[in-house]
Structure 1
Amino acid sequence: MSCHLKKEETQQVTSDKINNVSIIIDDQLWDGEIGDTLRNKFASPVLGLPQEEPLFTINQYPLKLLEGYMTNSRNIMVIKKESKSKFSHQINEYAQPQNVFHISGNSVKEIIDTIEKNSNIIIGKLKKTEINEIQNRNKNNVLRTKKIANKFHITLEIPKNFSIVRRKAKFMWFKNEILGGSISIVIYELPFKNFTQNEVIRIRDSIGSLYIHGNEMGTEMKTEDSYSPYSTWIQMAHKRAYETRGTWIMKNDFMSGPFLNYCILDQKNKRIMVLEGFCYAPSKPKRDLMLELEAIIKTIQFKK
C-alpha cells in the first residue's frame, strides 16, 4: 500500500454528505463479482443499530466521469483493470479534504483480492475522515461552558444546539432536539476498577434508573437485552477505552434507539470517565446521527 499527500495547492473544497463514497468503476465490473465485493465490504450493516443501515452510502459512476464534477467528492475509490495489481491512497488529489483510493489488477480475481486485503484500512481511513469532517463543521459553534471542565476536568466540544437537561454531582446530560426526535450525550465518572461488558451494562442501567426517564412516571432507560451489544477496546485521548454499541429501551414506554458508550480508563485520577451518546429518532435513519455523537465524544481532552 502507498499513501501520498498531494503537494500542490488544491482549488476545490469537498462538499459531500457524511458517509458517502463515490466509486469510479465501469458498469461491466460493477455489475459483476467486483461490485458484489464492494457492496459486501462497504455497504454492510452498521453494528449496533436497531434497523439495518449501510456502513457507507456508495454511489457508482463510470470512469469517464472521473475527469469532471466527480472529483470534488470527499471519498473516492477508482477501480480498473490494468496490467499490474496496485493499491494506493492519495490524500487531497483533486480537492480537500479528500481520500482517493486507486485499486487495479489484470483480472477480476486480482482486483477482488486487493479490495479484500485492504478493506479494513480503507474503512478506517474513511471513518476517520468523516469524524474529522463533523468535528471541523462543529468547531466554530461549540458551547463555551466551564461546567464540564469544573466538574470533570475535561474539555469536550459540544455544539451550541445542545442544552443541559439534567445535572447532578457526577452526572451531566446534554440534549439536542431534532426534527422527529432527539440526540443526547451523557457524562459521568466512576471509581477506577476492572470491568467487563456485563459490568458496563449494569452500570449504564443503574444510571438510566437514577437519571434518564421518559415523560411518564415509572419509566427509565435500560439496555435492550434481546440484542447482544458489541464491545471492543480502543485508544481514545491517549488512554485505553472500552467501546460498547447497542440498543436502549425506555422501561414501561415504547421509546428505543441505539447507544454508543465509552468507558475511558483515567488511571492518573483513579477513575473511569464515561461518555455515552444515544438517539431517539423512530422515523429517521440513525447511522449519521450516531456518527455525529461519536465525533463529539471523541473531541474529549483530559486537563493536565
Structure 2
Amino acid sequence: MTNRLLTFLLTLFIGVTTFSCGSDVAQRLNPTPSAFGAINSVTVVADSSLWINGASDSIAYFLEAPYIILPQPEPIFDVRHIEPVKLTAMPTFRELRNYVVLADLSDANSPTTKMVVNDLSDAKIQQVREEGFGTVVARNKWATGQQLIYLMGKNREELLRGMSTTRPAVVKRIADSEGLRTKETAFFQGVNRALMDTIMERTGANIQIPYGYEIVPVMANDFVWLKRSTRKGSLNLIATRVPYENQAQLTKEGLKEIRDQVGRRYISSSISDTYMRINDEDLPLFTENMDMNGAFAIEGRGIWEMENDFQAGPFISYLINDEARKQLVLVDGFILAPGEKKRDLMNQLEQILGTARVN
C-alpha cells in the first residue's frame, strides 16, 4: 500500500469520526427540552378574533368550571390564552405541557388555521371540512411530556358546537395526565410502610401513604388519623371501619352519618366541646357510586366545619364495602388551610386515597 493511499484513508477516517462526534455533541448541546408548567394549567392557542367572538366563553365553560367542592370557588384548570405568534416570538411558550388549539378552518388567513393545516394531514383537514368538526391529539411536538389537543371546525359555529360535545373527553384527558403528575408529586419521597401497616392492622385497608405524614395520637384500635403540615395549615387522612349492617349505610345519608360519628368521636380543635361535622347546609354534599379497586364504594365530596369553633374546609370520602370482612371502611382526606388555594392539595389527597384496597 502506497503512502498516498495510507494518507487518504487516514484523512477519510478522521473526517468521518469528526463528523460523527460533531453530531453527537450537537445532540447533547441541543436536546429536546422537557415540558414544564404548573400542575392543572392549560394554554389555549387561538386567534384573538375567534377568542373574542365566542371561544372565550366556551372555554370558560369547557375548562374553567368550578372544582367540586371547595369553600371558595377555584377552576378545574388554570387557563391562559395566547395567539400563535407567541409560539415563535417567545420559545418558552412552546415548552408548556397542555395545549388546546382552536381552529376555524373557514378562515384561510387565520394564523391558527395555517398552523393546524401545516401540522396535520390533508386527509384529516378534509374530513373536518366534510363532517363539520374534528379533534386530534398530538404529543411531544416541541418538548417531551407535552400534549396538544386540536379542536377544529369547518366554521366558527361548528367549532363552538363541537366543543360542547367533546368537553367530557377533553377534560378527562387533561385531568388524567395532570393526575399522574400530582401523584408523582405526592409520592416523590416514596411510601411509609410503617403507617401503611398501622392502617392495615386497624382497618383492614391497604393504602399507600407517602412520607411526610405523621400519626396523630388517638386511643382507638379501629381508627387512624395522619397529618402533614403545610405552610398555613395541614393535609389530613383518616381511616376507620364499622360493621356492615344493611344497604342503607351505602348511601349519601349513610356516608354522612358514619363520617359525622367519626368526627364527633375523634376529631376536635384545641377548644373544648368542639368536634368535626359535615356542613351540607351552606354547600351541598355530592356523592357518587363507584368501583374502588374492585370493591363497591360511595364517593363523597363536601365541606366540613368544626362545631363551636371557626375552622372549616373541604373533604373527600370513600366508604368502601369490604364484603370479605363484613364491614365498611371509611377512608377520608380533609384540608385545613385558611387563605390558601386548595384545589391542588385536594388532588393530592384524591391520588393517595385512590390507592385504597380492601380485597
Fold-level similarity (TM above 0.5): yes
1:149 and 1:26 map into 2 onto residues whose CA distance is 54
Structure 1 residue 295 displacement after superposition: 1.2
Match of residue 139, structure 1, among 173, 178, 187 = 187
Structure 1 residue 253 displacement after superposition: 0.3
1:18 is matched with which residue? 39
Match of residue 200, structure 1, among 255, 258, 262 = 255
| Counterpart secondary structure, 1:244 | strand
1:17 and 1:240 map into 2 onto residues whose CA distance is 34
- Post-superposition Cα deviations, 1:31-65, rounded to whole Å, max 9, x if no partner, equal 22111101122112122211111111101111233
- Post-superposition Cα deviations, 1:62-99, rounded to whole Å, max 9, x if no partner, equal 12334542333222111112252211223444444333
Q: Give the letter for the 2:271 counterpart.
A: E
Q: TM-score, with normalisation over the residues of structure 1?
A: 0.90
Identify the range of structure 1 (62-71 vs 276-285) with the bigger mean alpha-carbon deviation. 62-71
Identify the range of structure 1 (193-202 vs 67-76) with the bigger mean alpha-carbon deviation. 67-76
Larger radius of gyration: 2
Structure 1 residue 222 displacement after superposition: 0.5
2:10 is matched with which residue? none
Alignment of 1:21-170 (within 5 A): 21-66=42-87, 68-82=91-105, 84=128, 85-141=133-189, 142-145=191-194, 146-167=197-218, 168-170=220-222
Query: CA RMSD for the aligned pairs?
Result: 2.0
Query: Is 2:349 the counterpart of 1:300?
Result: no
Query: Is 2:224 the counterpart of 1:172?
Result: yes
Query: Is 2:187 the counterpart of 1:187?
Result: no
- Post-superposition Cα deviations, 1:255-281, rounded to whole Å, max 9, x if no partner, equal 011111111223233222211111111
1:94 and 1:270 map into 2 onto residues whose CA distance is 53
Query: Is 2:280 the counterpart of 1:225?
Result: yes
| Counterpart secondary structure, 1:254 | coil
Give the structure with the larger helix fraction: 2
- C-alpha change, 1:94 and 1:157, in structure 2 (3 Å) is farther
- Percent identity at matched positions? 27
2:56 and 2:172 map into 1 onto residues whose CA distance is 20
Structure 1: which 5+ residue stretches go unaligned? 1-9
| Counterpart secondary structure, 1:155 | coil
Aligned length: 294
2:335 and 2:270 map into 1 onto residues whose CA distance is 16
1:5 is matched with which residue? none
- C-alpha change, 1:127 and 1:162, in structure 2 (3 Å) is same
- C-alpha change, 1:136 and 1:209, in structure 2 (3 Å) is same
- C-alpha change, 1:189 and 1:66, in structure 2 (3 Å) is farther
Identify the range of structure 1 (58-67 vs 146-155) with the bigger mean alpha-carbon deviation. 146-155
Q: Is the 8 A contact 1:87 1:114 kept in 2?
A: no
Q: Is the 8 A contact 2:202 2:240 kept in 1?
A: no
Give the structure with the larger strand fraction: 1
2:295 and 2:143 map into 1 onto residues whose CA distance is 33
1:253 is matched with which residue? 309
| Counterpart secondary structure, 1:221 | strand
Q: Which runs of 4+ in 1 moved over 6 A?
A: none
- Post-superposition Cα deviations, 1:85-127, rounded to whole Å, max 9, x if no partner, equal 2112234444443332110112111111121111011111222
2:285 and 2:144 map into 1 onto residues whose CA distance is 36
